[in-house]
Chains A and B, each alone.
Chain A
């Protein structure tokens, strides 16, 4: 059974700081790993998708890496801004046990101006 854990649960940083959000998963038989952003009371916005055959993806100030063998993914945010304040969720798309996507509980990020 796939379990996804995100650490830390919450993070507060000053504007301009570089930061790393962590995601770990127990079953390495995934077909992709996706990072999302969620603002309070809103739906999810896709940030980056890493296919199982890939090691990383980049979009602007965001970089996500995937290490299937160790069951880990990281989301790196460069030069953080107050507008980055949101909850960041990772989701593992599975193979074994069906094709359901399993989400972590998220990391709540607050960037102080």
Chain B
């Protein structure tokens, strides 16, 4: 296993279009996270999954955003009716949570979204 992968790496779209990103976590990891990062800032939490269950969503995640992890493996993040303010790097991370131990998060390379 080579780590967390994300696809596509770059996406340019026009305002109003829908986009979907994919994240493949490290195979044995049960937790998957989505973050958004803008220039000069740290990543901002969007949502996370424990296996296939979406357990928490940030208030940043408007109704135009939806995330799924249907079989507890890969995850998709969809943005509908994109706006210029959605331009950012979208990062995915995964980790293994076992009992009361929260292990380190491993990040993918990110998907850079540009909305024209």
Judge whether A46 is part of the interface by a CB distance below 8 angstroms: yes
Note all chain B residues with C-beta closer than 8 A to A103: 35, 42-44
- Chain B interface residue number, banded: 20 to 34
- 9 interchain residue pairs of minimum CB distance: A103-B42, A49-B104, A44-B107, A100-B45, A43-B107, A43-B109, A31-B102, A43-B110, A46-B104
- Chain A interface residue number, banded: 20 to 34
Interface of A is mostly: strand
**A106-B42 CB under 8 A given contacts A43-B91, A46-B106, A49-B104:** yes
Scoring A36, A44, A45, A51 by chain B CB atoms within 10 A of each residue's CB, the highest score goes to A44
CA separation between A72 and B110, bound complex, in Å?
29
Distance from A20 Cβ to chain B, minimum over Cβ atoms (Å): 19
Q: Which residue of A lies closest to B109 (CB)?
A: A43
CA separation between A89 and B35, bound complex, in Å?
14
Contact of A105 among B40, B107, B108 (CB under 8 A): B40
Note all chain B residues with C-beta closer than 8 A to A43: 4, 91, 107-110
Note all chain B residues with C-beta closer than 8 A to A91: 42-43, 105
**A105-B45 CB under 8 A given contacts A43-B110, A46-B105:** no
Judge whether B48 is part of the interface by a CB distance below 8 angstroms: yes
CA separation between A34 and B103, bound complex, in Å?
10
Note all chain B residues with C-beta closer than 8 A to A51: 101-102
CA separation between A74 and B114, bound complex, in Å?
35
CA separation between A91 and B58, bound complex, in Å?
16
Contact of B56 among A31, A93, A99 (CB under 8 A): A99
A99 pairs with B42, CB closer than 8 A? no
CA separation between A32 and B97, bound complex, in Å?
12
CA separation between A55 and B35, bound complex, in Å?
27
B56 pairs with A98, CB closer than 8 A? yes
Would you list 21 pairs from A and B whose C-beta atoms are within 8 A, ordered by A residue? A31-B100, A32-B102, A41-B112, A42-B109, A43-B4, A43-B107, A43-B108, A44-B107, A46-B107, A49-B104, A91-B42, A99-B55, A99-B102, A100-B48, A101-B33, A103-B35, A103-B42, A103-B43, A103-B44, A105-B41, A105-B42
